[in-house]
Structure formats: structure tokens, C-alpha cells
Amino acid sequence: MTTANAIIAMERGHYRLREQIGGSAYGHVWRASGPHGAGEVAVKLINRQQMECAQPLQRERWTGSAAGEIAFLQSLAPWDGRHIVRLLDSGWHQGLPVLALELMSTDLAKHLAALHDAAQSLPVERALDWLGQINQALAKVHQYGWRYLDLKPANVLVDRLHHTVKLADFGTNRLLGGAREHSYAGTANWQAPEQFFPTGGAYTSSARSDYFSLGALFYFLVTNGQALRFCSACGQAYRTHHTAGADVLRRAHGGAIPATLHADEEARFAAGLPPPARAPAVALLRALLQIDPALRPRHALQISRMLAAVAQACAIPALAA
């Protein structure tokens, strides 16, 4: 069992674990001291206890995901760290891949929760700016030939000092040029319909699957942490029935995929925006949340232009690229 003060050796030096700051069934994230006064970093380890309980195929998948994340981050050009968390070091610990990443203040889920607890809300201009930054991060992932497939607030890291966000956790990446059909991947509460509802026993995704999740995140930001009913229903179905939850939901809706956006949700979303911005913002939200991927925006530039129209209606200066 990994504990505080444990020493983790990687290629560029040794790291002392200080406190666990995140985790899931898949892995743990620790705040750690870097080598030679290099400052604090985030060390990401595979959950060894879960690995020992998992079936061989699951263990292979987890190890492959971590190794794939390292390979993806190593492939990035230095300037891509503007919107994607930087890999500082990597190696193997107790036979499993381990990463050292830049340490950020918090993640988007925790940040919105803290604002809610303080009876505050995220300023509209910041919500739009952050959505633009996340869109640019997805553009980089797609540029390098991958689908991200796990966009959610916990995977968006926040720098409170500079008011910037970065995309993290690339273990779910799938190649854009590879087979479009794949096994279940991602987080049910934030997935595109094609990621949750299989066709012929397999899941078919594309770069536009990431844009659906971007739309769910747009709604989350503007409504100060509210989730879409579609996303909540998929999450509950998965928790109760695992992947069979897709069939349960279809049967409850006469064999159809449930609506992804309801009129009252549009109204709640619009109420969080200045009146002049409501029409272009709702248009973008609707476009991103289309059930049919072919009806969603084609690329990041189209989303950027639609976001710019929202910002212009709010009288906000041009969003950062």
C-alpha cells in the first residue's frame, strides 16, 4: 500500500509523496516533492490494490492506458503545455507505470463546488474563456490523431492564480485513425450518446464525441455546477446496471435514446447569461448536444467562432486561443 513519505524513483530523479489529492478505482494522484528542490508535482500511480483484484485483461488494460498516456504526453511539442497538463517525468514503480505531472491548484469539479459552498458563481466571461481553452486542448488532442473520450470536470485542472485551465488524464485516448468501434470507454455521466448506447454490441466514437461532452461541460459551467438530466440518467443507469444500463434506458423511452436537452434546461442555461448572449449561447449548446454526431460542429474552429459570437454579445474581449 502506498503511503505518505514513500519514495518513487523515475527517470529524472526521486519523488517523495506528501498527501493523496485524488484517486479512483483506476489510480491515485499524490502531491509530491520533486528532486533537487524542483518544487511540488503531482504523481500519478495505478491503484495497485485494485490491480491485484482485477482480471488479467483488466490489469492489461489499465497498464496499457497508463503507458499510452505517457506516450501521448511525451509526443507533444513544448508549446502544447499551454492547454494540456505537462508531463515532467515518468518511469516504473513496483512493475507499473508512474507519471510526474505539473501540479495545478484544483480541478473544475472541486472549484465549482467551492464556489457553490461560498454562495458564489463562476463569472460568465470566465466560463466562456475556460470553455474556449478546453476546446483548444481538445483541438490539440485531435491534431495529434486521438479521440479524448473522457472530458469531465474532474479531468480539467484549474490554475486559480492565472485563471487558466488544462486538460489532464489521457488514459482513455483512442486513435482517430484506428477502428472507430471499440469497447466501453469514458465516464457515463459525461459521455456522448454513441459512447453509452452501443450499436451491434460495440461503441462508435469520433472527435465529435468529445464535442458532446464539451456541451455538457458548457451547461455545467453556466449553471454553476448543474448536470444535464440525460447525463445524470446515464450515470445512474451505469452505476445500477453497468453497460446493460443502456438497454434499460432505451426500454424506458420506447426504444429511443433519451432527449439530451430539455426545454427547462435550456431556460435554466439561458438565465445564467446576459440577455443579448442567450440566443447564440443556446445555439452553440444545442449544436454540441445533438444526438446525431454528424449534426454537431465539425471542428474546433467552428466552435471557436460560435463562442466568439457569444462573447461578442456579452461585450467580452476576444477569447484567448
Domain limits, the chain: 7-102, 106-313
Residue 138 exposure: Cα atoms within 13 Å on the Cβ side: 31
Determine the pLDDT at residue 114: 95
d(CA 83, CA 299): 17
Phi, psi of 233 (to 5 degrees): -65, -40
Query: pLDDT grade, residue 81 (50/70/90)?
Result: confident
Calculate mean pLDDT across residues 235-247. 96
pLDDT over 80 at 57, yes or no: no
Calculate mean pLDDT across residues 271-300. 97
8-state DSSP, 81: G
Q: Give the DSSP per-residue string, 258-313.
A: PPSS-HHHHHHHHHTS-HHHHHHHHHHHHHHT-SSGGGS-SSHHHHHHHHHHHHHH
- Note whether 98 and 44 are within 8 A (CB): yes
d(CA 273, CA 222): 7
Query: pLDDT grade, residue 116 (50/70/90)?
Result: very high
Determine the pLDDT at residue 61: 81
Percent of the chain with pLDDT over 70: 96
Topology given in CATH for the domain delimited by 7-102:
Phosphorylase Kinase; domain 1 (3.30.200)
Give Cβ neighbours of residue 264 (< 8 Å, ≥ 6 apart). Answer: none
Calculate mean pLDDT across residues 196-216. 93
CA dihedral 115, 121, 126, 131 (to 10 degrees): 80
How far separated are the first and last CA of the chain, in Å rounded? 43
Residue 62 exposure: Cα atoms within 13 Å on the Cβ side: 25
Give Cβ neighbours of residue 308 (< 8 Å, ≥ 6 apart). Answer: 318, 319
Radius of gyration of the chain (CA): 20
pLDDT over 70 at 25, yes or no: no
> Which CATH number, 1.10.510.10, 3.40.50.2300, 2.60.120.260, 3.30.460.90, labels domain 106-313?
1.10.510.10
Reference 212, options 275, 303, 312, 77; nearest CA is: 303
- Note whether 219 and 228 are within 8 A (CB): yes
Calculate mean pLDDT across residues 80-85. 92
Query: pLDDT grade, residue 178 (50/70/90)?
Result: low
Calculate mean pLDDT across residues 246-255. 96
Determine the pLDDT at residue 300: 97
How are the residues of the chain apportioned to helix, strand and coil, as percentages rounded to the nearest 5?
A: 50, 20, 30
d(CA 226, CA 219): 7
Instruction: Compute CA distances 54 → 45, 57, 62, whole Å.
Output: 16, 8, 10
